[in-house]
Amino acid sequence: KGTKVVQTSRTMVGHTNPVEAQAGTVRGDFSFHVSRNVVHASDSPEGAQREIQLWFQRTELLNWDCCDQTMTCEV
């Protein structure tokens, strides 16, 4: 949830193949093999919703709104 959250998180995570991931990304710094690349990042908000349902039960999720989100994220 947030402005460009998928694009931003995928940038922070880095390329799926750690050999191609830039230093300073999670995969670039901590991964050694493409099939064991430490972290997963969804490719779209729709994909994230599907994947959240695969990995989490409804009781594990909560709605959270940052009190200053309007001031910092909405333009």
pLDDT tens-place string over residues 22-71: 999 999 999 999 888 789 999 998 999 999 999 999 999 988 777 776 67
Given 24, 35, 40, 65, the catalytic residue: 40
Check residue 11 and give its pLDDT: 95
pLDDT for res 44: 92
The CATH code of the domain that includes 28 is: 3.30.70.141
If you write DSSP's letter for every residue of 30-73 in order, what string do you get? H--BTTB-S----SSHHHHHHHHHHH--GGG------TTHHHHH
Burial category of 27 from C-beta neighbours within 10 Å (exposed 0-12, middle 13-18, buried 19 and up): buried
Mean predicted confidence (pLDDT) in 6-27? 94
pLDDT of 20: 95
Q: What is the pLDDT of residue 66?
A: 72
Please say if 33 is a catalytic residue: no
Structural domain of 9: 5-73
How many separate domains does the chain show?
1
pLDDT number for residue 57: 95
